[in-house]
Amino acid sequence: CNIGCYFSVNLDLVCSKHFCDYVKIIPIERILTETDAPFAKQGGTDKIKFLVEKLSALYNMDKQSVKDQIFINFRNILNHIER
């Protein structure tokens, strides 16, 4: 079932074994990075680099491909809003 949802993930999620298993089942085409992390112990834009590293390991992708895909995901949301 594809309902078009995107999911934002933060560093706490990808560093937790329990939640990491859930993140892995979300297609990378539906992942966004959470930059403010309002409910996380760790957050802020300084943590994005480490989050991308964790996501690249989780999805078995190189870091640049993960960054590119997250940018595409964000652009797709903006394109949808502009319609």
| Model pLDDT, residue 37 | 57
| Model pLDDT, residue 42 | 57
| Per-residue pLDDT reduced to its tens digit, 23-82 | 999 999 999 998 765 665 655 566 888 999 999 999 999 999 999 999 999 999 998 886
DSSP assigned state of 42: S
Burial class (CB in 10 A: 0-12, 13-18, 19+), 32: middle
| Model pLDDT, residue 31 | 96
| Model pLDDT, residue 8 | 92
